[in-house]
Amino acid sequence: MRPLYLLALGSLLALGACRLYDPQEGIVTADILSLTLEHEAILADGRDAMLLTVSLGPEAQANQLVTFQTSQGRFAAAAGLGGGSEAQSISLMSSGRMASAYLIADQVVNDRVTVSAQVGDFVVVEAARFERAYPEQILATLSEPILPATPGAETTLSLQLLRSLGQVSDGTQVDFAYTDLSDTTELRLSLPETAFSEGNSLEVPVTVRSGSGVAEVVAEVRDESGNLVVSKSVVVEVVE
């Protein structure tokens, strides 16, 4: 391979896709390497992964050191999701003219996760998405299922948002409402209309405003289109 007088990595990143070659040598980046993403998007569940593959071009020699980087998530060597170092940057020797690594999502939703591959000073940059991983089940408990009919009496509604695989994305919105099931007296409660999860859990207060009786408190998760994903209800009893 002939000597290359290359731009510094920082300059390449600053100039972006408009500067794909070294003006001193006229070598197109695609002649050195290309980067292919297995998927455009994966779930932000801390588990979902996509394979990133670098193919060395005709101007690159075989068996090159390839460095993968990501702005979010972590890498694992393509030998397996449990193998290799797991960090936002990983360097691997290509096997002949190919090198691969798995990008594993974290639990943060992001419409633009920047990933790159570098050989020498040549860099290719692509973008992926980490999409929301919604809960499939909600577990709900009340710290005090029975409250006195005293204004200000309070119980804590605790939720666990669960998936069969992986974790629920951070900041998942949960909507709350209640229905008075009492036949004779009007029971009025106070609780947030909306709250957001921290990790897989969420706690909100449920407070007696007035009256007594029984109420059903409902927690719902809806997708971006407003469609119901999952719901869970608990019963609060307020007694004289």
pLDDT at 10: 38
Q: Does residue 238 contact residue 211 with C-beta atoms inside 8 Å?
A: yes
**20 against 138, higher pLDDT:** 138
For residue 19, pLDDT beyond 50 = no
pLDDT at 90: 94
Q: Do 15 and 126 have their domain in common?
A: yes
Q: Do 97 and 142 have their domain in common?
A: no
pLDDT single digits (tens) 166-208: 999 999 999 999 999 987 779 999 999 999 999 899 999 999 9
pLDDT single digits (tens) 29-87: 999 999 999 999 999 999 999 999 999 999 999 999 999 999 999 998 765 554 445 68
What's 119's domain CATH number?
2.60.40.10
pLDDT at 183: 79
Domains of the chain: total: 2
H-helix or E-strand containing 13? helix 9-15
Q: Is 1 contained in some domain?
A: no
Q: 228-239 and 146-148: which strand pairing?
A: parallel
Q: Is 52 contained in some domain?
A: yes
Q: Round to whole Å and give the CA distance between 184 and 161.
A: 35
pLDDT at 31: 93
Q: Do 181 and 115 have their domain in common?
A: no
Choose the final residue of a domain: 131, 150, 185: 131
Q: Is 150 contained in some domain?
A: yes
pLDDT at 23: 39
Mean pLDDT over all residues of the chain?
A: 88
pLDDT single digits (tens) 2-15: 333 333 333 333 33
Q: Do 24 and 40 have their domain in common?
A: yes
pLDDT at 26: 74
- Calculate the CA 202 to chain-centre distance: 17
pLDDT at 189: 97
Q: pTM value?
A: 0.80
Q: Is 145 contained in some domain?
A: yes
pLDDT at 12: 35
Q: Round to whole Å and give the CA distance between 94 and 101.
A: 11
Choose the final residue of a domain: 113, 131, 149: 131
pLDDT at 83: 42
For residue 210, pLDDT beyond 50 = yes
Q: Do 121 and 147 have their domain in common?
A: no
Q: Do 21 and 107 have their domain in common?
A: yes
Residue 176's domain comprises 137-239
Cβ-Cβ contacts under 8 Å for 144 (sequence gap 6 or more): 154, 155, 156
Return the beta strands (E) in 168-227 as ranges: 173-180, 188-190, 194-196, 201-210, 213-222
Choose the final residue of a domain: 104, 131, 158: 131
Give the C-alpha distances (Å, rounded to integers) separating 15 from 7, 19, 70: 10, 6, 18
Q: Exposed/middle/buried for 133, CB within 10 Å: 0-12, 13-18, 19+? A: buried
